[in-house]
Amino acid sequence: MEDFDLKGYPEPRAARAVLVEALRDAIERGAIPPGTPLRQDQLAAQFKVSHIPVREALQELVSEGLGVLVHNKGVVVSQLSVEEAAELTEYRCLLEVQLSHWAVPRLSKLDFERARQVLDELDRTRDIDVMLRLNAEFHAVIYRRAERPFFLKAVENVRVNLGRYWRLAWLELGHKLRSQYEHRRILRLCEQRKAKEVGELIERHIRTTGALIVEYLRRRGAESSQVVRTRVDGR
């Protein structure tokens, strides 16, 4: 497993929480790619903790869908299939559209101001990690007003699972320009208290990004199959 920077994760917190946050962040950033074994001995030594919090952290990653238990390998970083990415996109639509319906009537002038600040920062930045963080923050500014913590937690889990692939949409496919245009439209509709229209635009927004991820996974699967066929034919 490639080493990654663990600075910035405060020691006073519970060891399990530190491990989960660090590993989740590394997986989302692509520092630990899909298929990488998460070895308990290595993690325990790296974090200077016992195997108990490591085991608990890996169990949490599995429950979130970021890890999968493989026979004779232990927990490895999960790889989304085309079908899983499509299902997660549908799940996002259900969760986030409903959250927007609850939230829009409760949004305040301070929320609108913060949302505009986030979008202005997003326009200026060229750092992909900052882009993705601000993108999540824009949606969170809206959804938090729904005051539905279980829904918000579910959205966070889905975003982490898909976040590994959003980089491709923002970097390789130039998705930032289109995404920002839609963000500005969402904000205007929120200010006009048009909850139904906000939900419809958020759904289209989610499906556009989801389609990019599904197409990427489908293309990569086809390329992998071609490599296998080439190796077989070359024998």
- Integer angstrom CA distances of residue 128 from 15, 59, 88, 112, 210: 28, 29, 22, 24, 18
User: Of the candidates 66, 65, 59, which has an alpha carbon nearest to the alpha carbon of residue 29?
Assistant: 66
| pLDDT score, position 87 | 95
Question: Cα separation of 123 and 104, whole Å?
Answer: 24
Report if residue 68 sits inside a domain. Answer: yes
Report if residue 110 sits inside a domain. Answer: yes
Percent residues over pLDDT 70 in the chain: 85
182, 195: one domain: yes
73, 86: one domain: no
| pLDDT score, position 12 | 37
Report if residue 227 sits inside a domain. Answer: no
Report if residue 233 sits inside a domain. Answer: no
Lowest mean pLDDT among 62-76, 118-132, 173-187: 173-187
Question: Cα separation of 121 and 183, whole Å?
Answer: 13
Structural domain boundaries enclosing 52: 15-77
User: Of the candidates 132, 162, 156, which has an alpha carbon nearest to the alpha carbon of residue 143?
Assistant: 156
174, 125: one domain: yes
| pLDDT score, position 126 | 87
Burial of 65 (0-12, 13-18, 19+ CB in 10 A): middle
Report if residue 104 sits inside a domain. Answer: yes
| pLDDT score, position 167 | 74
149, 169: one domain: yes
CATH code: domain of residue 216: 1.20.120.530
Question: Cα separation of 75 and 44, whole Å?
Answer: 14
Report if residue 232 sits inside a domain. Answer: no
User: Of the candidates 59, 40, 38, which has an alpha carbon nearest to the alpha carbon of residue 51?
Assistant: 40
| pLDDT score, position 9 | 47
Report if residue 108 sits inside a domain. Answer: yes
Confidence of residue 11 (pLDDT cuts 50, 70, 90): very low
More confident residue, 71 or 169: 71
Question: Cα separation of 30 and 28, whole Å?
Answer: 5
Lowest mean pLDDT among 92-96, 125-129, 230-234: 230-234
Q: Does pLDDT of 1 surpass 60?
A: no
Q: Does pLDDT of 120 surpass 80?
A: yes
CATH code: domain of residue 33: 1.10.10.10
Q: Total structural domains in the chain?
A: 2
Q: At 67, is the secondary structure helix, strand, or coil?
A: strand
Q: At 77, is the secondary structure helix, strand, or coil?
A: strand
Residue 125: what are its φ and ψ, rounded to 5°?
-75, 150
104, 218: one domain: yes
Report if residue 235 sits inside a domain. Answer: no
129, 215: one domain: yes
**Which pTM value belongs to this model?**
0.78
Q: Average model confidence (pLDDT) for the chain? A: 85
- For 139, residues 6+ apart whose C-beta sits below 8 A from its C-beta are 96, 155
111, 157: one domain: yes
Q: Does pLDDT of 10 surpass 50?
A: no
62, 145: one domain: no
Residue 198 in contact with residue 190, Cβ under 8 Å? yes
